[in-house]
């Protein structure tokens, strides 16, 4: 005999009601999730939202401290369009407070050329800033705000003992998203990168912690929350692809020490104007085919003049229109390294201070000789 389906449903409901009201044990957990005391059909462990792994807790603790001392820097540079009309151009970057009195470290390229500088703190308070010192050679700048009360400051760590693989954390304002934290590791150390103005930044820290436009000048922290680098550059122009670079904090410490001792940054001055000649042109001019920097002018009273470097004795026309002074010294090596471009001399000078000695190898009158030049000090920009 076939039992109608409605009767089967009725019997099943009756059986369920019997078991639920008779006190008979029934494993409902096999069919439905147990009821909570509030009557909901789900439950969450009480500690699920508050228990973190040790590494997560470390990230959280460092961020809480680092975020308070990381700032957003807005710069205004005035430029000219094709019709010579002046217009303001805004740029953004990051920085971090190193003293409770308002001193802030950042990159030179964040503040370079700015007519106006504005600093926004983590609590959204806004202050005007002034530049105390810059060092283009290591792309660093020190700026200051006049804030009320003591400000939170970060501890400067040790970048000389970094190990590939150790954890790092970056805090900054990528694409204007303030207070952003990214994490990663030290991917490599002692990297050399080329800047847009053809300068060489050496000894850089490479990291896979995401660094994007707007991160420049922000702190790169170790697992103790100490600053071991200043986020400076990315590989490529679009955004993070896992290859970012930070200036070691040891460079900033050296800059801060020099400011403390001398009140300013000492930039070296050689006092020459030179032009790079390649192998082909050098051969035409009956110079060593390795090429080098052909001195075009020696400034009066300069370190170069004191060292006996010589400028041109006559001028020739190259390529039908280009004037080139010849007869002067050809610099073929700087600090023992062959000259390969106009930037070769500048890279060597970037490692020097006023009063340091620069070793040059020059070609003069058919032979090479070595000259030691005691560098002068360039005029102060600030």
Catalytic residues: 109, 139, 216
- Please give the structure tokens belonging to residue 51: 């228990």
Question: Phi and psi at residue 54, in whole multiples of 5°?
Answer: -55, -40
Burial class (CB in 10 A: 0-12, 13-18, 19+), 92: buried
* Cβ contacts of 136 within 8 Å, gap of 6 or more: 108, 112, 199
Q: Are the C-beta atoms of 228 and 203 separated by less than 8 Å?
A: no
Radius of gyration of the chain (CA): 32
Question: Phi and psi at residue 381, in whole multiples of 5°?
Answer: -90, -25
Buried/exposed 19-57: b ≥16 CB within 10 Å, e otherwise: eeeeeeeeeeeeeeeeeeeeeeeeeeeeeeeeeeeeeee
**Element of type H or E holding 63:** helix 54-69
Sign of torsion, CA 168 174 177 179? positive
Q: How far apart are the C-alpha atoms of 219 and 224, rounded to whole Å?
A: 13
Neighbours of 366 (CB within 10 A): 8
Number of residues that make up the chain: 382
Q: How far apart are the C-alpha atoms of 94 and 232, rounded to whole Å?
A: 10
Three-state SS at 286: coil
Residue 36: C-alpha distances to residues 22, 42, 274 (Å): 21, 7, 82
Neighbours of 233 (CB within 10 A): 23
Q: How far apart are the C-alpha atoms of 94 and 218, rounded to whole Å?
A: 5
């Amino acid at each position: 005999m076939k039992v109608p389906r409605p009767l089967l449903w009725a019997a099943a409901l009756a059986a369920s009601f019997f078991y639920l009201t008779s006190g008979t044990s029934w494993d409902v957990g096999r069919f439905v999730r147990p009821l909570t005391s509030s009557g909901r059909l789900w439950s969450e462990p009480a500690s699920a939202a508050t228990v973190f792994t040790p590494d997560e807790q470390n990230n959280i603790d460092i961020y809480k401290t680092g975020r308070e001392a990381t700032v957003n820097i807005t710069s205004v540079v005035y430029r000219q369009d094709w019709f010579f009309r002046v217009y303001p151009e805004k740029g953004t970057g990051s920085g971090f407070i190193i003293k409770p009195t308002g001193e802030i470290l950042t990159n030179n390229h964040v503040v370079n050329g700015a007519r106006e500088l504005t600093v926004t703190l983590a609590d959204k308070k806004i202050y005007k800033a002034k530049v105390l010192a810059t060092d283009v050679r290591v792309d660093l700048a020190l700026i200051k705000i006049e804030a009320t009360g003591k400000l939170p400051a970060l501890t400067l760590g040790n970048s000389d003992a970094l190990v590939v693989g150790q954890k790092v954390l970056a805090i900054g304002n990528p694409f204007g998203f303030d207070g952003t934290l990214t994490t990663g590791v030290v991917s490599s150390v002692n990297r050399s990168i080329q800047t847009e103005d053809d300068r060489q930044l050496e000894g850089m820290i490479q990291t896979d912690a995401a660094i994007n436009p707007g991160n420049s000048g922000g702190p790169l922290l170790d697992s103790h929350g100490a600053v071991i680098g200043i986020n400076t550059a990315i590989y490529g122009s679009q955004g993070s692809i896992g290859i970012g670079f930070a200036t070691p904090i040891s460079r900033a410490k050296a800059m801060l020490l020099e400011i403390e001792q001398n009140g300013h940054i000492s930039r070296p001055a050689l006092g020459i104007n030179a032009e790079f000649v390649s192998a082909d042109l050098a051969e035409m001019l009956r110079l060593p085919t390795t090429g080098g920097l052909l001195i075009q002018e020696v400034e009066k009273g300069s370190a170069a003049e004191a060292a006996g470097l010589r400028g041109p004795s006559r001028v020739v026309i190259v390529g039908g229109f280009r004037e080139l002074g010849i007869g002067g010294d050809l610099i073929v090596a700087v600090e023992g390294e062959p000259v390969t471009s106009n930037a070769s001399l500048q890279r060597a000078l970037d490692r020097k201070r006023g009063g340091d000695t620069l070793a040059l190898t020059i070609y003069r009158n058919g032979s090479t000789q070595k000259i030691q030049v005691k560098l002068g000090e360039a005029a102060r920009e600030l």
